[in-house]
């Protein structure tokens, strides 16, 4: 089955589901197996459309169509779900609200856990959810993590009525541990930057809904923000990851342009980054004479696989493949290029885009890419276009490159200092709303590096806080790697 066929089949599944609700026929039958299969089918359709089939959904129904449809029909199911407990109709309505990404899904899932934990379907769902978290942790190749490599104290707690701020920028799955999360939350407001956003509505993240006050999520895409706004104790902000790129990095701007475009993406995840689509675009009539530089991290086997794809496409004379370039050497490589292209199926606060802008490279991205705050694509920085418009957009930027000013936009609107100030103001207002004092500001952030402090001395400054956090992790079981202080 082709991607197009799979997408159309998934759209038809959602259309049927919406029609059953609208016609009042969703519950005309009382067979729970029918409803269980329907939920499974709808969830599979959503997962496909919102990931692999996003570009097709965008050019047919529109990216907001699934969520608009769920939101429009939420009140119908919620009224039924408020009926008499253990009534078959009430149970099935509540299961739909809890197991599909309707508004307030995570709250309804907590309710289902409490009322129907022993139900076969719910047991299976909770077991699978737990396994997903375990798998994510088990798949980590790294077996020793320094604490500062996945979390960062931005602000310590004050003496009177003032919480601290703790940034979680990697391993957010650890927050699925209810006891650990509550322990941290009593001392800090958590600012979480999930690497992939919440595109799959990761239900294990609902632990953060149990916060005493609120948890802040750094997510770029409008659909993630809309979804999180419907959950309790979730406060989204578009500030995440790439926004905190260092401004003062040495960026060579006068290099000879050897490549027309650069494509930056890990070779270890070629399907998600869509390297093959980029190779197809290079064979389009508008781009047949263009040269491309591919850079990214990757194991040797994966890099060699991509080189084989380049060879099979007959592009060896126009494509240069570089792997595992040191982060500090990225600007010098970007300086050899005229523009950037980014086609990933999913990102969140994508660092590569801001690296392009900092190096004065306009960029073309796929407008269906979730996790990207599309306002950063504008007349100064480049274009966000549908897949069918990509060749023309790339060609247009290469022809009219002088019309863009991405570095100017970056220095005026983004970067570590400016974005840290924006986050500080956001958190300051949140603290005021929650009734907490605000005596000290957060420290400036970076988007990368071993501890992501703009001022490395801040790690030593907050060492006592890190020791307290380290003690919290000592009591967490089933972590398949070692966490150390230094």
Q: What is the CATH number of domain 259-413?
A: 3.40.50.2000
In degrees and rounded to multiples of 5, residue 236 shows phi and psi of -85, 150
pLDDT on residue 130: 87
pLDDT on residue 17: 97
Give the C-alpha separation, 89 to 107, whole Å.
19
Give the C-alpha separation, 441 to 425, whole Å.
9
pLDDT level of residue 486 (50, 70, 90 thresholds): confident
pLDDT level of residue 200 (50, 70, 90 thresholds): low
pLDDT on residue 199: 65
Give the C-alpha separation, 3 to 92, whole Å.
32
Q: What angle do CA 47, 353, 138 make, to 5 degrees?
A: 50
Give the C-alpha separation, 40 to 392, whole Å.
39
Average pLDDT of the chain to the nearest whole number: 92
Angle of helix 65-81 relative to helix 222-229, nearest 10 degrees, comes to: 10
Weakest mean pLDDT among 12-16, 154-158, 176-180, 318-322: 176-180
Give the C-alpha separation, 277 to 344, whole Å.
10
Q: What angle do CA 425, 428, 433 make, to 5 degrees?
A: 125
Give the C-alpha separation, 238 to 222, whole Å.
9
Radius of gyration (Cα) for the chain, nearest Å?
24
Question: 385-413 burial by CB neighbour count: b if 16+ within 10 A, else e?
Answer: bebebbbebbbbbbeeeeebbbbebbeeb
pLDDT tops 80 at residue 249 = no
pLDDT mean over 280-294: 97
pLDDT tops 90 at residue 99 = yes
pLDDT mean over 128-140: 85
pLDDT mean over 338-351: 93
pLDDT on residue 315: 97
pLDDT level of residue 87 (50, 70, 90 thresholds): confident
pLDDT on residue 210: 84
Which has the higher per-residue pLDDT, 240 or 210? Answer: 240
Give the C-alpha separation, 419 to 402, whole Å.
27
In degrees and rounded to multiples of 5, residue 218 shows phi and psi of -90, 100
Weakest mean pLDDT among 11-20, 190-199, 337-346, 375-384: 190-199
pLDDT mean over 74-84: 89
pLDDT on residue 270: 96
Domain spans of the chain, in order of start? 3-130, 140-243+415-484, 259-413
Instruction: Quick: pLDDT tens for 444-469.
Output: 999 987 789 999 999 999 999 999 99
Instruction: Quick: pLDDT tens for 219-242.
Output: 988 888 888 888 888 899 999 999
Which has the higher per-residue pLDDT, 1 or 437? Answer: 437
pLDDT mean over 356-371: 94
pLDDT mean over 31-47: 92
Instruction: Quick: pLDDT tens for 304-341.
Output: 999 999 999 999 999 999 999 998 899 999 999 999 99
């Amino acid at each position: 089955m082709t991607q197009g066929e799979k997408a159309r089949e998934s759209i038809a599944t959602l259309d049927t589901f919406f029609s059953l609700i609208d016609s009042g026929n969703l519950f005309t039958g009382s067979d729970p197996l029918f409803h269980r299969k329907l939920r499974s089918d709808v969830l599979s359709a959503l997962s496909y459309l919102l990931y692999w089939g996003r570009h097709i959904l965008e050019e047919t129904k529109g990216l907001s169509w699934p969520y608009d449809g769920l939101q429009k029909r939420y009140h119908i199911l919620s009224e039924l779900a408020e009926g008499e407990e253990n009534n078959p109709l009430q149970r099935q309505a509540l299961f739909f609200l809890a197991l599909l990404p309707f508004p307030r899904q995570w709250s309804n899932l907590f309710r289902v856990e409490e009322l129907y934990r022993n139900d076969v379907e719910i047991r299976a769902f909770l077991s699978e959810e737990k396994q997903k978290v375990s798998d994510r942790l088990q798949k980590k190749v790294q077996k020793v993590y320094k604490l500062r490599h996945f979390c960062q104290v931005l602000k310590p707690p004050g003496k009177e009525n003032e919480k601290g701020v703790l940034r979680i920028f990697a391993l957010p799955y650890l927050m699925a541990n209810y006891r650990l999360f509550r322990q941290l939350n009593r001392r800090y407001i958590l600012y979480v930057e999930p690497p992939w956003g919440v595109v799959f509505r990761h239900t294990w993240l609902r632990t953060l809904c149990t916060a005493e006050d609120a948890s802040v999520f750094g997510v770029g895409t409008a659909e993630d923000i809309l979804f999180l706004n419907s959950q309790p104790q979730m406060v989204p902000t578009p500030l995440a990851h790439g926004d905190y790129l260092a401004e003062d990095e040495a960026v060579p701007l006068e290099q000879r342009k050897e490549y027309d475009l650069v494509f930056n993406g890990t070779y270890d995840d070629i399907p998600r980054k869509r390297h093959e689509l980029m190779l197809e675009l290079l064979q389009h009539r508008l781009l047949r004479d263009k040269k491309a530089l591919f850079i990214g991290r990757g194991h040797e086997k994966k890099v060699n696989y991509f080189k084989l794809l380049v060879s099979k496409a007959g592009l060896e004379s126009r494509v240069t493949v570089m792997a595992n370039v040191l982060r500090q050497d990225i600007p010098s490589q970007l300086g050899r290029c005229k523009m950037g292209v980014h086609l990933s199926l999913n990102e969140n606060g994508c660092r590569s885009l801001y690296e392009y802008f900092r190096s004065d490279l306009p960029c073309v991205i796929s407008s269906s890419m979730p996790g990207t705050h599309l306002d950063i694509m504008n007349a100064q920085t480049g274009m966000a276009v549908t897949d069918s418009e990509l060749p023309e957009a790339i060609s247009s930027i290469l022809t009219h490159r002088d019309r863009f000013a991405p570095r100017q936009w970056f220095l005026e609107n983004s970067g570590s200092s400016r974005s840290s100030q924006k986050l500080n103001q956001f958190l300051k207002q949140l603290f005021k709303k929650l009734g907490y004092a605000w005596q000290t500001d957060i420290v400036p952030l970076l988007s990368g590096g071993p501890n992501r402090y703009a001022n490395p001395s801040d790690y030593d400054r907050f060492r006592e806080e890190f020791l307290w956090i380290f003690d919290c992790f000592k009591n967490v079981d089933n972590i398949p790697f070692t966490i150390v202080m230094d």
